[in-house]
Structure 1
Amino acid sequence: MQTISQDGSGNNAVQITGDGNSVTISCGGIVLFLQAKHSLKREPRSDLDLLRPETRLLKILGRESEMASLTAWVDDPRPVLARGIIGRAGSGKTRLAIELCDVAAEHGWRAGFLDSGDLQAFVEAQRTAMWPQHTPILVVVDYAARRARALNAWLQSLARRADPARPRLRLLLLERHATPGEGWWEELSRLHGSDDSLYDLLEPSEPMSLPPISAIEQRRALLGGVMNAWCRLNGKPVMVPPAAGADPQFDHRLTDPLLAAEPLHLLMAGLVAAKHGLATLLSLGRLDLAIELACWERDRLTRLASDRGINEKLLLHLVACITLCRGVERSELRALIDEERAVLPYERGIERDPLAEALVNALPAQGEHGSLRYNGLQPDIIGETFGLLVLTTNPDLDQMALIDRCRERAPARTAQQLVLTIQDFARPAAELVTSTPSLRRPEARLPQAWLGEGNPALHWLDHLVAGTGDLERLMTISDQMPRYTLLLGERAMLILHRITEVVRELAAARPDAFRPDLAM
């Protein structure tokens, strides 16, 4: 059932509506859509579904103090507050936010993840609008770096209002990284003029790092839970990890601080062990697990193609493209199929409608303001690895031409996917791969070649940036780039160099209207 809250009238009011699965915030004809991920729990259909935070497969473990802190933050009597949470990929940020949305919704809040809509235009429209005072709202912004400038404008607008005009609003900002004094958090908290009231809305003033799951038995419980779920999904006898004290070597591996920092690593390890046996449990690095699970997905899609009589190489390519673009609207799906099949030399099983039906069957979907959107493969690390696996091993593909097509379709999302891929493969090799993978797939050696400068995503991002003349888009990419390794810092500097080039080009073309000193 849909409900509506509104104070004021016409273009001078903010409306908040919801139907249980989504929340809509509108003002002056500008609409933001929030996805109520806490209400989307469903039975898993594939192995990867077991890893998606929206599935909420297991009870959240090891986050009691974080949940208590976030609940107190939501309940704080101050009208508007924003908080940042940072943690490496797979640390559980999204799952924690989903749990908070569920708790907030039970207490009468509208809650959801900012999904789509023109945030910058909405910020402008709501500057003088009345918000419904009796409809508190929690907005989660995942991958917040790409929206830092618009969020800064929103916070500035809210900070300057008199208290009675402020909405009951919480902004929870999730990101993998934040570097003091630079990057997206600096941009988000930037002051314009001498008014520093924006700082009053940041609670706390710096992003909070998500701590590791320190309790060994909680890590063991995560492993056991996902192993049990995989066995049930696949009709296999239930398998559990060794009990405490039964296997001292396993107990020692379970103390690895990398496992504590990344619950997703534990879950991936549990899936692989449930299929291949306890001997593999915790013996593989993060990327070893990711390539194995990407191969599972490749094999699943290959079977689907065979069952439906469509070209398996083209189906794999299309899924990799959609993942690279971080999803596709249903209305755009057939155009994407037509464009990609036109540039690849496949002749059998390339009819558009059967391919579209297979993609609809294969990909996770979400409703979006009356339409459907098909997402790429998730979690991120598996989608990224699948993309590298499929796209770099296809001799028929012009990789840079593909990046050009993806830049035309979804420039911001493609850049985001490349940045995330670079982040995940830029960490020290000892954190990511084992020297002798115990699973004997030929593909098991590929991640070693994708580390550091060998990562194709680096060269794809270089190509995308070099061909981008949009200043705002380049600055958004720059905000997303972390600088915590030499490799990432060098790429960040190259992007800044490209920004400088574009600023000079704009200033030369419009010297009276464009002042380079005000562009940065």
Structure 2
Amino acid sequence: METAHPSGKLNPGDREVANRYVMAVDGHPPTPLKDGRSPWGGLSGGALFCGDLLTGVITADEEYGGHSRLVVVPTYALHQAEGFRDVLAEHTDSQTMVLAPVEFQSLTEAPSAVLLGELPSPGWLLVAGLKVVPFRGRSELLAELNDWAGTDGAGVFLLHGSGGQGKTRLAHQVVDELVDHRWAAVWLDPHRTEAELEVLSDSATPTVVVVDYAETRTPQVKAMLRMCVRHGGAVPMKVLLLARTAGEWWERLGSSSDAASMLLARAGVRLLEELEPEAKGRAVAYREAVRGFAGALPKVNGQAGYPWTVIASGLPDPAPTRLGLEGALTLHMTALADLLDSAAAPFQETATVRVAAGGAPEEVEDRLLRHEQRYWQTAAETRTPSVVFEQSTLHDVMAAVALLGADSRDTADDLLRRIEGLEDQPRDRRNSVLKWVASLYPALGDIPFGSIQPDRLAERFVGRHVRQRPGMVDRLIVGIDGTRLERLLTVYCRAASHRVFGGVLDDGLTSLCARHVSELGPVAIEVATQVESPRPLMQALELIGDDNATDLATLMLLADHLPLSSHRLAEWAARIGERLVHEHRELAEARPDAFLPHLATSLNNQSNRLANLGRREEALDAATEAVNIRRSLAKARPDAFLPNLATSLNNQSIRLANLGRREEALDAITEAVNIRRSLAEARPDAFLPNLAGSLNNQSNRLGELGRREEALDAATEAVNAYRDLAKARPDAFLPNLAGSLNNQSVQLANLGRREEALDAATEAVNIRRSLAK
């Protein structure tokens, strides 16, 4: 009897004690059969799916339920039965069964379809999630990560290292061990928004969230940290960040919010060292990799007919002096390339170290790319309809896919229309190309296609291709959104840094940014703080900033995208600031009413940039000129310019204090306090926070001059202001209240009022402790 496929809702708490779920069927229940049998007859043993996850197996129609409720054995109970796992493996070609929370499945990067069937090309064997090569080493770091996971509440751990060191593979090992202990694991999809992450704040089971390439996903990382704070820490909530660097992006992340600063202050940070520093270990690891790939190659399209085990046994161990095998990915790529080269031609001594035309050993990435490109061409020729274009056109497509990607079919089609040779083709021809790419590199999640695997191979291909066809990148840029442009510059910059190119790609990348200033200039500022080797981007920014043809609007656009502080960009930021001051000064001389406010703003910003460089006298000069301009503007239009004057006075006071000119620093901050007090009386919601900040600064200046009673009065007024603000908006102002209490405690101690100093300090500690929780 054929039975309809029901749908309905599960309450996970219903009969959970008995290891059962009960599904309430949507709509009206079916009519019982005439002989009294259940209308759901034949459904027993049917699979129940929630989204893409197998959630359980239907066993019965609940007795006395009016045929509106079906009893289900949940997957977590079935997982305990070896027989069930064996049957699942037999019919799904999957050797592992992983428990995952239904609620989080939309957040997790979807496993590619190729992971469950035939692999399109050999490069897929290098994907960390496939675990083709057994995990080895890292015992101390594994123990440290497990200890970190075992602590209560929320926690963050940053694992960083250059591409190919094995960060993702190590993360898979950590996650697998946690999942074995009933943890939930989320490999966070880069496309998920903060609103979608909200479900994590309600997690009732220990959860680990992995964010790969975290340095390029800081907005999402910030959102994840806010989820940790909202979660409250009733059960462990851990965030494992993987990144190539722990540079400026990490420093900026820590100062981006109170949630970030609290969590990252106690975060674990480790640089992933080379996996196999010793020759003996490299030989063992190489042999393990060869065996792993030999066992998996029959699952690759077109590779089932080779005697891989025999080929593997004929490969010699690598020479002890062979370079590059210290890193995990290079060693694995070498093992795979050796196998493929040996199958392509009868094994010879040169199979292990191929020699390029110039006489030097061929880089392993290039050896693997030759095999990948062979599969591209074969797949193009055998498609129906065929995808027969010039090889340069198909390689343009692959380079564009690696550089930009696409998040929908429309953006994918737009990408293909930018390729020379495809722009005038009908849509169905472009669709054939899209399907060709997707067949080679299936999508992870709701995107049209993936890209060359692993990333280092993609970077090498991009570097080779743009060196031959530099003009193809220009066609990709105009009209593309900032997120995809950030990816383009990141991939291009990483490709340029590959040792094999010897810096020859740098000039091309620099000139590309200079040609497309409005599109790439702001993005270059962001990427320069993320990548390991930002030199081409820095050269581009310097070229743009020094070019007299760069107009004021572009300079202001670039300045607006500058981070508050950046070691890498500090010198360049000061040069941009100097040009902005110069340009606005000339305009203000001709039209003071229109441009004096802009000149003052430029001077105030330039003061901060000069201070970051330690150029204190120049920083004070700029701040003082800004004060003088804004004082004159405020005389004519106080309502419009008094707040700006107070800001500049606050800045001037800091610059004077940095130079030890304490009396003048006090005069400046006192004037700022007086202005902000009058403004706050009229509009407390708008100006009370600024007044509280200036009072704190005034307290410090008074304390430095030994005027302790007045310093305490200012600190106490700041505390009272922040206390009022924190009552209305605790999330925004409790951290400020704690800071002011700390300052008040210092001033009380200076006066010998130790009991009161302790009370203030204790309140500050209590606030910060509650925030930290």
2:153 to 79, 99, 102: 79
Q: 1:151/1:461 Cα in 2 relative to 1: closer, same or farther (>3 Å)?
A: farther
Query: Is 1:280 aligned with 2:351?
Result: yes
Where do 1:393-412 residues align within 5 Å?
393-394=468-469, 397-404=471-478, 410-412=484-486
492-501 vs 65-74, greater mean Cα deviation: 492-501
- Contact 1:141–1:171 under 8 Å retained in 2: yes
Q: 1:400/1:352 Cα in 2 relative to 1: closer, same or farther (>3 Å)?
A: closer
2:431 to 344, 353, 357: 353
Corresponding residue number in structure 2 for 1:435 = none
- Contact 1:327–1:374 under 8 Å retained in 2: yes
Q: 1:394/1:298 Cα in 2 relative to 1: closer, same or farther (>3 Å)?
A: farther
Q: 1:196/1:114 Cα in 2 relative to 1: closer, same or farther (>3 Å)?
A: closer
Q: CA deviation at 1:452?
A: 0.9
Q: 1-side partners of 2:340 and 2:276: how far apart? A: 25
TM-score (normalised: structure 1): 0.71
Corresponding residue number in structure 2 for 1:442 = none
Corresponding residue number in structure 1 for 2:244 = 176
451-460 vs 94-103, greater mean Cα deviation: 451-460
Corresponding residue number in structure 2 for 1:137 = 207
Q: 1:37/1:198 Cα in 2 relative to 1: closer, same or farther (>3 Å)?
A: same
Matched residue type, 2:154: V
Q: CA deviation at 1:132?
A: 2.2
Query: Is 1:481 aligned with 2:549?
Result: no
Query: Is 1:310 aligned with 2:381?
Result: no
Q: Secondary structure, in 3 states, of the residue corresponding to 2:221?
A: helix
Larger Rg: 2
- Contact 1:178–1:482 under 8 Å retained in 2: no
- Contact 1:145–1:184 under 8 Å retained in 2: yes
- Contact 1:310–1:349 under 8 Å retained in 2: no
Corresponding residue number in structure 2 for 1:447 = none
Q: 1-side partners of 2:422 and 2:429: how far apart? A: 14
Unaligned runs of 5+ residues in structure 1 are: 7-16, 433-449
Query: Is 1:226 aligned with 2:293?
Result: yes
Where do 1:193-212 residues align within 5 Å?
197-202=262-267, 204=268, 206-212=269-275
Corresponding residue number in structure 2 for 1:268 = 333
Matched residue type, 1:361: S
Q: CA deviation at 1:48?
A: 0.8
Corresponding residue number in structure 2 for 1:14 = none
Q: Secondary structure, in 3 states, of the residue corresponding to 1:351?
A: helix
Matched residue type, 1:222: A
Corresponding residue number in structure 2 for 1:296 = 371
Where do 1:4-43 residues align within 5 Å?
19=53, 33-35=107-109, 41-43=115-117
- Contact 2:156–2:264 under 8 Å retained in 1: no
Q: 1:142/1:19 Cα in 2 relative to 1: closer, same or farther (>3 Å)?
A: same
Corresponding residue number in structure 2 for 1:387 = 462
Q: 1-side partners of 2:419 and 2:238: how far apart? A: 42
- Contact 2:111–2:444 under 8 Å retained in 1: no
Structure with the higher fraction of residues in strand conformation: 1
Where do 1:115-134 residues align within 5 Å?
115-117=189-191, 121-122=194-195, 131-134=201-204
Q: 2-side partners of 1:236 and 1:148: how far apart? A: 45
Query: Is 1:259 aligned with 2:316?
Result: no
Structure 1, residues 411-465: CA drift from partner, whole Å, max 9, x if none? 2322322233234x1x4xxxx5xxxxxxxxxxxxxxxxx3214357634763487
Structure 1, residues 148-168: CA drift from partner, whole Å, max 9, x if none? 355357547856x7x956663
Query: Is 1:57 aligned with 2:132?
Result: yes
Q: Secondary structure, in 3 states, of the residue corresponding to 2:488?
A: helix
Greater RCO structure (CA 8 Å; 6+ sep): 1
Q: 1:141/1:286 Cα in 2 relative to 1: closer, same or farther (>3 Å)?
A: farther
Q: 1-side partners of 2:555 and 2:273: how far apart? A: 35
Q: CA deviation at 1:211?
A: 4.2
Q: 1:353/1:149 Cα in 2 relative to 1: closer, same or farther (>3 Å)?
A: closer
Q: CA deviation at 1:184?
A: 1.5
Q: 2-side partners of 1:40 and 1:63: how far apart? A: 29
Corresponding residue number in structure 2 for 1:415 = 489
454-463 vs 139-148, greater mean Cα deviation: 454-463
Q: 2-side partners of 1:382 and 1:232: how far apart? A: 21
- Contact 2:463–2:496 under 8 Å retained in 1: no
Q: 1:194/1:47 Cα in 2 relative to 1: closer, same or farther (>3 Å)?
A: closer
Structure 1, residues 330-353: CA drift from partner, whole Å, max 9, x if none? 4533333334367757x7998233
CA RMSD of aligned residues (A): 4.5
Q: Secondary structure, in 3 states, of the residue corresponding to 2:210?
A: strand
Corresponding residue number in structure 2 for 1:147 = 217
Q: Secondary structure, in 3 states, of the residue corresponding to 1:105?
A: helix
- Contact 1:329–1:374 under 8 Å retained in 2: no
Matched residue type, 2:430: R
Q: Secondary structure, in 3 states, of the residue corresponding to 1:35?
A: coil
Structure 1, residues 131-179: CA drift from partner, whole Å, max 9, x if none? 32513321111111123355357547856x7x95666311111111224
Q: CA deviation at 1:298?
A: 2.1
Structure 1, residues 172-191: CA drift from partner, whole Å, max 9, x if none? 11111224xxx112112227
- Contact 1:136–1:169 under 8 Å retained in 2: yes
- Contact 2:210–2:242 under 8 Å retained in 1: yes
Unaligned runs of 5+ residues in structure 2 are: 1-6, 14-50, 55-97, 343-348, 546-553, 562-579, 585-594, 613-773
Matched residue type, 2:312: V
Q: Secondary structure, in 3 states, of the residue corresponding to 1:178?
A: coil
Where do 1:400-479 residues align within 5 Å?
400-404=474-478, 410-423=484-497, 425=498, 427=499, 432=500, 450-455=501-506, 458-459=509-510, 462-463=513-514, 466-468=517-519, 473-479=523-529
Q: 1:41/1:276 Cα in 2 relative to 1: closer, same or farther (>3 Å)?
A: closer
Q: 1-side partners of 2:521 and 2:540: how far apart? A: 16
Q: CA deviation at 1:88?
A: 1.5
Matched residue type, 1:491: L
Structure with the higher fraction of residues in helix conformation: 2
Query: Is 1:186 aligned with 2:186?
Result: no
Q: 2-side partners of 1:195 and 1:299: how far apart? A: 47
Q: 1-side partners of 2:476 and 2:558: how far apart? A: 27
Q: 2-side partners of 1:131 and 1:5: how far apart? A: 18
Q: 1:45/1:19 Cα in 2 relative to 1: closer, same or farther (>3 Å)?
A: same
TM-score (normalised: structure 2): 0.50
Q: 2-side partners of 1:311 and 1:40: how far apart? A: 24
Structure 1, residues 289-326: CA drift from partner, whole Å, max 9, x if none? 21222222222222222223323333332222111114
Identity of matched residues, % = 18
Corresponding residue number in structure 1 for 2:616 = none
Q: How many residues align?
A: 455
Matched residue type, 1:480: Q
Corresponding residue number in structure 2 for 1:10 = none
Matched residue type, 2:238: R
Q: 2-side partners of 1:100 and 1:360: how far apart? A: 30
- Contact 2:462–2:495 under 8 Å retained in 1: no
Q: CA deviation at 1:386?
A: 2.2
Matched residue type, 2:182: G
1:69 to 111, 121, 144: 144
Structure 1, residues 47-101: CA drift from partner, whole Å, max 9, x if none? 111111122212212233333322222222x211101111221111111112222
Q: Secondary structure, in 3 states, of the residue corresponding to 2:132?
A: coil
Q: 2-side partners of 1:109 and 1:505: how far apart? A: 43
Q: 1-side partners of 2:456 and 2:53: how far apart? A: 32
Q: 1:352/1:137 Cα in 2 relative to 1: closer, same or farther (>3 Å)?
A: same
Q: 1:133/1:380 Cα in 2 relative to 1: closer, same or farther (>3 Å)?
A: closer
Q: 2-side partners of 1:81 and 1:378: how far apart? A: 31
Matched residue type, 2:502: L
